[in-house]
Amino acid sequence: MTYRGRFAPSPTGPLHAGSLVSALASFLDARARGGSWIVRIEDVDAPRTVPGAADDILATLAHFGMHSDETPVWQSERGAAYQAAFERLQAAGFIYPCGCTRREIADSLVHAHARHATLAYPGTCRNGLHGKPARAWRLRVPDGDAARISFVDRWQGPQTQDLATDVGDFALKRADGLWAYQLAVVVDDADADITHVVRGADLLDSTARQVYLQQCLGVPTPLYLHVPVVNNGIGEKLSKQTGAAPLDRHAPLDALVEAARHLGIEASADTLDAFYRAATAEWAKRFGR
């Protein structure tokens, strides 16, 4: 198999110590396998995209010695691919329009919760819109045993999620007309022939949805590896919202050594080349070549 991995930052702000860990892990995994590493700019969520952030991320990665092996993919240019996948799912009867507002879903969930049900979308519009206008489009998840999706994560071990009880039918096209992350990521990974996904463990919970969507579209499921997220001093995931500081582009080694340490790798070095050699060798010992 030709290894193809990716790093898929959302351009909502500059790279920080948390996103560096995901970038580094995906890069080391690709290097350890002699594979390709491709950067994808996940700017599908236009309202959250910060102008200039994507170029800033690419420049920082370059300063840190990580260069995409192919021209970076921009989700904002891939609307036609998402539309084509959406139409295939529609023709096959996998998706349906949903007229529920957030408020209506929240209210029905409060009610469901009182009956000790879980907080999944209750499927209100599965059999019709009840006269309401269509807002979002949802993928119908299976019922019963077929709803249990299992996969083995290379870091986190065996995982199972029951899509019916934990998630419910999930949106592929949002009420604001934008493509949902779940659709974009599955279509992009498939079109780029991604074989290995390495990313932060905050996305572990999305993986079963992506595996199911791959099955609906008839595309292969990559192998997954979710690295522990970096928290700030009070246990919150580092992010722009929790005040993560941007990386200092001019002092890459310290930040890289720290990111490697978070991954359980000791790779102190004087140059970027020596760092990547040492870190790749350590990664290969743990996760194979």
> For binding to ligand GLU (CB under 6 A), which residues are involved?
8-10, 42, 185, 199, 203
- Has 100 been labeled as part of a binding site? yes
Helix (H) or strand (E) holding 196: strand 196-200
Give min distance, CB of 131 to ligand GLU, in A: 37
222/202 Cα distance (integer angstroms): 18
Give min distance, CB of 94 to ligand GLU, in A: 21
Tokens of 69: 């092996």
- Has 240 been labeled as part of a binding site? yes
- Has 125 been labeled as part of a binding site? yes
**Residue among 8 and 120 whose Cβ is closer to ligand GLU:** 8
- Has 192 been labeled as part of a binding site? no
Alpha carbon of residue 19 to chain centroid? 12
Give min distance, CB of 9 to ligand GLU, in A: 5
- Has 19 been labeled as part of a binding site? no
- Has 7 been labeled as part of a binding site? yes
Residues facing residue 74 across a β-bridge: 41
| Burial profile 263-284: b = 16 or more Cβ within 10 angstroms, e = fewer | bebebebeeeeebbebbbebbb
**Residue among 4 and 199 whose Cβ is closer to ligand GLU:** 199
284/268 Cα distance (integer angstroms): 17
Q: What is the secondary structure of 139-157 as a DSSP string?
A: EPPPPGGGGEEEEEETTTE
HSE toward the beta carbon, residue 107, CA cutoff 13 A: 6
- Has 275 been labeled as part of a binding site? no
Q: At a CB cut-off of 8 Å and minimum separation 6, what does 76 contact?
A: 41, 43, 44, 46, 49
- Has 121 been labeled as part of a binding site? yes
Burial of 183 (0-12, 13-18, 19+ CB in 10 A): buried
**Residue among 125 and 183 whose Cβ is closer to ligand GLU:** 183
Q: Give the neighbor-by-neighbor strand order of the sheet with 136-139.
A: 95-98, 136-139, 170-173
Binding residue ranges for L-glutamate: 6-10, 42, 181, 199
